[in-house]
Each structure stands twice: as C-alpha cells, then as structure tokens.
Structure 1
Amino acid sequence: MMVTSPIDELRSWTRAQVDTISKGWWVLLVSGVVSLVAGCLTFFIPWTVGDLVVFVGTLLVIRGAFTMFSIPVDGSLRTWSVVIGLVEIFVGIGVFVWPGPTLLVVALSIGWLLLFRGSSAIVGAISSRRYLPYWGVVLVMGIVEALVALYLLSRPDITLIAAVLAIGFAWMLYGALEIVAAIEVKKLPQRLNKASTTVAAATTDTPLHPVG
C-alpha cells in the first residue's frame, strides 16, 4: 500500500532514505497486483452478500499484512505503515464478526477505511509535493478513495450491486496506481544519481568571481 504520513512534513531526503524506500518497491507491486485482480473479480462473480463479506474481509486482512511490512513512500517513520496495516486488519476482522445488517456493515467498514486512508494520502501528498516525485499519483489515489468512501457512507440503503461496483472500481484503480507507484519508487536511486550529477556539473561549470 502507498503509505504517507499526514503528520511528518517532508523537507529533504538522504541517500539512505531513498535506498530504503526503493527496496520496498516490490511490496507495492504485489499489493497493486492483488488489488487490481481483486477489483476485476468483483465484476465477474455472481456475488451473494455472504460471499462478498468473506471476500472483502479476507482481502482486507491480506492487504493489511502487506501494509504493515511496507515502507512509507514519503520517507516518514515506518510506524505509520504498521498503524494503517493494523487498522486495515482490524476492519477486515470486524467485517466477519460484526453483528447486524451484513451488507451495511461491509459498506460502512470499507467507507470509513477508505476515508481514513484517502485523507492521510491527500495530506501526505500535499505536504511532500516539493520532494516526492510521484506525489501526484498519491494525491489522485487519496481523492479517489475519499470520493468512494463518501459514496458508501452516504448510502445506508445501498444495494449489493452498488456496493460491488463501488468496491471493485476503488480496488481496480487503487491497484493500478500502486503498480505505477512501484515503478516510480524503484527508479528513485537513479533519479537521485541523475539529480546529483546535474548539480555537480552545474557547480563545476559556474565561474568563480574574485572577491574584492
């Protein structure tokens, strides 16, 4: 999952941070592929409410585990990944065990989770826009999640088809954006090397003016 911190303001990156972030590119890729495939499946399976509960709960637990082991893409503390991962796992388990109207529980659980993640992504992307090369991808992801969340939370009478379409669309787009982000994250060291070379060349070519 693309994790950014809405608390820590990014001001600069060190080489160590770039290398650490880049090493986690494969987690983003796997998570993105899982989300993309899951989103596609929602459109081709004749769901019952019970089946949807099992599917959504299982996927949230799996994605939560991936998130806990991921590295924030903005260089913030890994603690934030653990927090969001635990929230996702908790919501996934809650979908299974929560008593009440099952479809409404699924819609509200996904809605609040997406609102939490989307808000964090939006704030994190904006605060890191000067140093995060792919901040636009993170921002789009956050906006989409927030919009889907508001739709789910505003429909207490939501139908099974509407819930499936909303959840499937969100996961498909989120998965695609994660795959794009994974590619960008993998390129971070090369970006830093190129930027360092450009700065070094500019410094070398700048004439020195005598003092006095």
Structure 2
Amino acid sequence: MTTASTFASPSLLRALAKRWWLFTLRGVAGIAFGFLALLWPGVALLTLAIVWGAYALTDGVFALAAAMSGMRSGDTPRWWLVLTGLAGIAAGLLTFIWPGVTVQVLLLLIAAWALVTGVMEVAGAIALRKEIQGEIFLILAGLASIAFGIALLAWPVAGAISLVWLIAWVSIFAGATYVALSLRLKKLAG
C-alpha cells in the first residue's frame, strides 16, 4: 500500500536534510540554464538541445546521488529519486548523441501532447456537463491546448523560440523552488 508517509518518512527526511546542498546545486543549475536560455533565445536550437541535455544529465546525476546517499538505511524507498536520476541521465545522453533529432522530436511530442490533452479536456467537459457547472472553463482550456498544438505544428520555428522562453521560465521557477527547499532542509539538518 502506497501512502503519503512512504514518500515523507522521518529517515528519508533526515537523509535528504544531510544532503541539502544537492538540492541547492539542482536549483542553481536550473536557474543558470533558465537565464542562459532567456539571454540568447535566437541561438541555434541545437545549442539549446545540448544545454538542455547537460542540464538533464546534471539534474539526473544529482538526483541519483541524493537517492544513493541514504541507501544504507534501507528502510525508506528512494525508487522515485532513482527513476528521476536515471531518466535525466538517459535524456541527457540521448540529447548529446542526437541533438538535431532531440529538437524535432521534442517539438512534435509537445504538439502531440497539446492536441491530445486538448481533445481529452473538451471530451471530458462534454461528458461532465450534466454533473458540474462551469464546464466551459475546461472546454476553453482544451481549446487553448488544441490551438497551441496546431500553432506549434504550423510554425515550428516560432514555436521553438516560444518553447525556449517557456522552458527558461519553468527552469528558473523550479530552480528557485529547489534552492528554497534546500534552505529548509539545511535548517532541519542543523
């Protein structure tokens, strides 16, 4: 049985608190990546793919290090950190092997995801129209997602630049939250 306590046991909290600085490094890497992407949005997308690959690889290594650092206690599952680390390392390595393909596939995957998500949201809103009020908001969200997917397919270069900006801001936000988390963990470690 998986519960919230599985993810936040006291031994896991102690292990993470001892390695608070790993979250700081993850956060700083995210913030640095975000600002670099904002500063040079017109730089070739291959460069962005390589920088993103380096970020994914670095993030994966730090996540795996955080998971492995407390494995000796053995009583707290860290599979989610191991999977996060392995996924980041794999994504980073594949990006270095095929940077051009990475950009194309990433844009296609995001467009496909937006289209499928939008269609499902509209279908869900229609199915729930007798159960809830305000289903129009879910329909509007679905239509916006569909429009985004179509726009990304129709104008991939503009979509790629917009994607650079979106990834940059998400990386800065995520990096800031990791730094904030690391500061909380540092207090717990003390």
TM tier relative to shorter chain? 0.5 to 0.7
**Match of 1:43, SS?**
helix
Is there any run of 5+ residues in structure 2 with no aligned partner, and where?
A: 69-74, 113-144
Distance 2:110 2:177 in 1: 19
For the pair 1:57 / 2:53, whether they are aligned, the reply is yes
- Length-normalised TM-score, structure 1: 0.56
Question: Percent sequence identity over matched residues?
Answer: 24
- 1:114-136 superposed Cα distances (whole Å, 9 cap, x missing partner): xxxxxxxxxxxxxxxxxxxxxxx
Whether the aligned pair in 1 keeps the contact of 2:16 and 2:185 (CA below 8 Å) is: yes
1:47 to 24, 43, 46: 43
Distance 1:41 1:174 in 2: 15
Whether the aligned pair in 1 keeps the contact of 2:12 and 2:76 (CA below 8 Å) is: no
Partner amino acid, structure 2, of 1:104 = Q
Task: Name the structure 1 match of 2:77.
Answer: 77
Task: State the Cα distance separating 1:83 from its structure 2 match.
Answer: 1.2
RMSD across aligned positions (CA): 3.3
Task: Name the structure 1 match of 2:164.
Answer: 164
Distance 1:163 1:32 in 2: 20
Equivalent positions of 1:191-202 (< 5 A) are: none
Task: State the Cα distance separating 1:30 from its structure 2 match.
Answer: 0.9
For the pair 1:26 / 2:15, whether they are aligned, the reply is no
Task: Name the structure 2 match of 1:9.
Answer: 4
- Structure 1 or 2: larger helix share? 2
Task: State the Cα distance separating 1:189 from its structure 2 match.
Answer: 4.9
Task: Name the structure 2 match of 1:68.
Answer: 64
- 1:129-160 superposed Cα distances (whole Å, 9 cap, x missing partner): xxxxxxxxxxxxxxxxxxxxx89x94445423
Distance 1:79 1:31 in 2: 18
- Length-normalised TM-score, structure 2: 0.62
Asked which structure has the greater RCO (Cα within 8 Å, sep 6+), the reply is: 2
Matched residue count: 143
Is there any run of 5+ residues in structure 1 with no aligned partner, and where?
A: 1-6, 113-149, 191-212
